[in-house]
A = this chain, B = another copy of it.
Amino acid sequence: MSILPDTASPDLAHPQEQELQLTQVLFALSDPGRLDIVRQLRDGPVEMANCNLMDPEVAKSTKSHLFKVLREAGVIRNIPKGRGRLLSLRRDALDRRFPGLLEAVLNAN
């Protein structure tokens, strides 16, 4: 457990918990490819290199963009790890701001 606040994620900008916007979160989750990523993070952090996209043919810049949208919405955290990146769900922030939302989305279907 870190002592640092939720937003202390080096290198890339992460919105603060209080800045999260419901519509932006919903939009981030409204793409099947991005939703799939979120499901992969359900049980814990995953290294980006090990995160398989729905469409395995996409360019790496596109892959990066998918994570960017999720990160900027506050859905995921993206921190450096080794020469790659570690992705995780911002469950804590999401559950406080939008109680029940993430659970409902993850449990759907």
Interface of A toward B, CB cutoff 8 Å = 22-24, 26-27, 29-32, 35, 97-101, 103-105, 107-109
Contact = CB atoms under 8 A, between A and B. Distances in A.
A11 to B, nearest CB: 27
**Count of this chain's copies in the oligomeric assembly:** 2
Of listed A103, A105, A108, residue having the most chain B CB within 10 A: A108
B26 A26 contact: yes
Nearest to A31: B23
B104 A101 contact: yes
A92 to B, nearest CB: 16
B104 A97 contact: no
Contacts of A109: 22
